[in-house]
Amino acid sequence: MRVILPPSETKRDGGEAGSTLDLERLSFPELTAARAAVVRATVELAADAEATVRALKLGPKQADEVPRNRALAESPTMPALHRYTGVLYDALDAASLPADAWERARRSVVVHSALLGPVGAGDPVPAYRLSHDSRLPGLPLKRHWRADAAAALAALGEPVLDLRSEGYVGLGPLDGVAEAAYLRVVAEGPDGRRRALNHFNKQGKGRFVRALLLSGAEPRGLEELLDWASGAGVPLERTGERELTLVAEH
C-alpha cells in the first residue's frame, strides 16, 4: 500500500556534498521527460527575477527563492522526506525515524512534487520553490502533469491512501487506482459534532504517518489499514467509498 503526501512550500537547505539532481535516480522513471521539461522551464524562468516573483507569487521576504530555483539543477540533493519542512513534515519527523521505519517509508511513502511529479520518500531532490498553482510560461502544470502522473500512480498496482491537498490531487488524480481513499482530518467537539481543521489537519496527517511507520505494520489495503488503526487506538474510520476520516487531537 502506498501513502501519498503533499509537498510543502518550505524546504530545508543543503544536501549531500557533491550531489546534484539526477532524474534517472528518481522513482517513476516513466516521468523523466516530463520532469526534465518542468526543471528546464523553472530554471529558465529564474533568470528573470521579477517574472519569477510574479509566477510563484512570492512575497518581499522570499527573494532568496529565485536564486534557489536558478541553481536547482546543480544544487545538492537530499531524500525527499528530509527536504520538506512545515507542519506535516515536522510532525512526521523523518530524521528521527529508526532504520526499520525509514525503510518502510522508502517502500511505501510518495511525495507529490509540482517540480518532479510523484517521487519516493528516499529519492534525492534539490531545494526549489514551485507550487501546484505556479505559472510557468508555456507550461501549465495541471495540464502537463495530470495524465502522466495519474498513469504512473495507477501503474503501481497497489492500494493508495491520499493525503494530498485538492490542488495536488489535480496534478495526478487516482481515477485509475482500483482501491484508493482520500484521508480527511476532523476534530470532534464535546457535542459530537465534527469540523474540518487547517493547521491541525496537517499535524494530524504527519502524526498518523509517523505512527504507521513506527508500528511496523505494512497494510496491503484499506481494510487492513483500518484493522491496524483499530488495534492501535488510532481513530480512523471509513466515511465513504473512497474516503477515510481521522479524528485528530488538537
pLDDT digit string, tens, across residues 46-92:
999 999 999 999 988 888 899 999 999 999 999 999 999 999 999 99
pLDDT of residue 104: 98
pLDDT digit string, tens, across residues 158-188:
999 999 999 999 999 999 999 999 999 998 8
User: What average pLDDT does range 14-36 have in this prediction?
Assistant: 97
**Among residues of the chain, what percentage have pLDDT more than 70?**
99
pLDDT digit string, tens, across residues 207-219:
999 999 999 999 9
Q: How many CB atoms lie within 10 A of CB 51?
A: 15
Return the amino acid letter for 36.
A
User: What average pLDDT does range 139-163 have in this prediction?
Assistant: 97
Query: Is the model's pLDDT at 192 over the cut of 80?
Result: no
User: Would you kindly state where each structural domain of the chain is located, as residue ranges?
Assistant: 2-247
Q: How far apart are CA 201 and CA 187, in angstroms?
A: 9
Q: Where are the alpha helices (DSSP H) in 61-198?
A: 65-70, 80-83, 87-92, 99-108, 141-154, 166-169
